[in-house]
Amino acid sequence: MTAGPVVVEAVNVSKKFKLVHERNHSLKATVLRGRRVVAEDFWALRDVSLDVREGETFGLIGQNGSGKSTMLKVLTRILTPNEGRVRVEGKVSALLELGAGFHPELSGRENVFLNGAILGLPQSELKKRFDAIVDFAGVGDFIDEPVKNYSSGMYVRLGFSVAINVDPDVLFVDEVLAVGDEEFQRKCNDKFSELRNAGKTIVLVTHSMSAVSNLCDRVAWFSKGKLMKMGSPRDTIEAYSATTRIALRLDEFGKARWGSGEGRIVGVFWLSPGGEPISRLDGGRPARLRLHYEIDEPLIRPVFAASIQLEDGTELTSTSTRDVGCVPEKLQGNGHVDLTFDAFPLLPGTYNVTVALTDFSRIHDYDVRKEIVSFAVDPGVLNEMSGIFAMGGKWEVH
């Protein structure tokens, strides 16, 4: 691929924050010893070195809190590292936090000019590009409203539009693809390709593994402030997804969960043919998803449902026991339900499973556990090379 000069460099960067804890929780302890406030060092980045070459699109991935945004802030000099140094060559533009750099009381128009000026574009040039900026952002007449009245989607679209229209040599972007509707995401992707073809350097943070594999030349994976791996999207995503966990309890991992709680889903596992919990499946092979339940009082005609999402949250498919008429009149106590596949149809990648226990109308939720299990799919016996699911078609040449 590209072998231009290094234009973004971090050398042995560490960044710490002070976390303030109040140590004495009981009244007695407070009375006896007084309030003790303890500040603790927390290392958000630890000895990170990376380099990005001119013209590369470089991705940062990793779980929440792993230090990705902190890294971008250090690279764009919003934060100063405690150790190490950074170097960025050329004109920089950045879209970091939602609405960072926007003044809430000013109108969209005023913010475009203010922001553009901060990013180094002369007013005359901004005037020329103004319509294109507003057009790309799709904020329409809202451009003369104070941005505090904007939806989060509008905010980020306008911010992104300014950031890419100032002709940067290096563009830093944090999670822009997660916000905005499908059409805007498509526009962003087109814009990334355009910048890329123009030889610009892009450093982006994203949770979308499909964005990483489609857009990036190289990827860095962060975990707990450390750089775990830097390499091709394929290798890096594979290493990352191998560590993502299989069966998660909400309590430990803070996954979204809701419902009235008379019946609960207390464990979700993919099982191997031998009945062992597994976190990787083989495409085209048999697979079994097991949901363990606990129900206090008898539930009348309860329904179990499961759905599969891409890592960016896109729903691929869902199925329920009601769809197939597999609904008991009454259910109580502890037990499990199985969802089995003769030939698992997803292509290699990382996916999430969401499960639910609801009443027969599917309106009342007893327990919904969002993206409770993350799992990876290996090629297995599928022939398809790219995409999400196996069509399973047959070719014949006559």
Ligand X SMILES: Nc1ncnc2c1ncn2[C@@H]1O[C@H](COP(=O)(O)OP(=O)(O)OP(=O)(O)O)[C@@H](O)[C@H]1O
Nearer to ligand X, 253 or 360 (CB): 253
Q: Which does 345 bind (CB under 5 to 8 A by kind): Mg ion, ligand X, none?
A: none
Nearer to ligand X, 78 or 368 (CB): 78
Phi, psi of 257 (to 5 degrees): -145, 135
Beta strand 83-88 with 201-205: parallel, antiparallel or unpaired?
Answer: unpaired
Q: Residue 341 and residue 338: Cα distance in Å, rounded?
A: 10
Q: Residue 209 and residue 215: Cα distance in Å, rounded?
A: 10
Of 62-70, 73-81, 353-361, 379-387, the window that binds Mg ion (rule: CB under 5 A) is 62-70
Angle between helices 123-137 and 108-118 (to 10 degrees): 130
Q: Give the one residue of 57, 66, 69, 76 binding Mg ion; rule: CB under 5 A.
A: 69
206 binds Mg ion (CB under 5 A): no
Cβ at position 173, least distance to ligand X in Å? 13
Q: Residue 112 and residue 134: Cα distance in Å, rounded?
A: 9
Angle between helices 152-164 and 182-197 (to 10 degrees): 10
Cβ at position 79, least distance to ligand X in Å? 8
208 binds Mg ion (CB under 5 A): no
Which of 398, 283, 392, 300 lies closest to 344 in space, CA to CA? 283
Q: Which does 70 bind (CB under 5 to 8 A by kind): Mg ion, ligand X, none?
A: ligand X
Nearer to ligand X, 98 or 271 (CB): 98
Nearer to ligand X, 173 or 347 (CB): 173
Nearer to Mg ion, 69 or 161 (CB): 69
Nearer to Mg ion, 44 or 133 (CB): 44
Size of the site for Mg ion (CB under 5 A): 1
Q: Which does 44 bind (CB under 5 to 8 A by kind): ligand X, Mg ion, none?
A: ligand X
Nearer to ligand X, 61 or 133 (CB): 61
Site string (273-302) toward Mg ion, x via CB under 5 A:
------------------------------
Q: Are 367 and 302 in contact (CB under 8 A)?
A: no
| Environment class of 310 (CB within 10 Å of its CB; exposed 0-12, middle 13-18, buried 19+) | middle
Residue owning tokens 């639910």: 356
Angle between helices 152-164 and 123-137 (to 10 degrees): 140
Residues of this chain that interact with ligand X (CB under 6 A) are: 17, 42, 44, 62, 64-70
Of 67-75, 110-118, 138-146, 244-252, the window that binds Mg ion (rule: CB under 5 A) is 67-75
Q: Which does 236 bind (CB under 5 to 8 A by kind): ligand X, Mg ion, none?
A: none
Q: Which residues contact 157 (CB under 8 A, 6 or more apart)?
A: 136, 137, 138, 139, 180, 184
Cβ at position 57, least distance to Mg ion in Å? 18
Q: What secondary structure letter does DSSP report for 98?
A: T
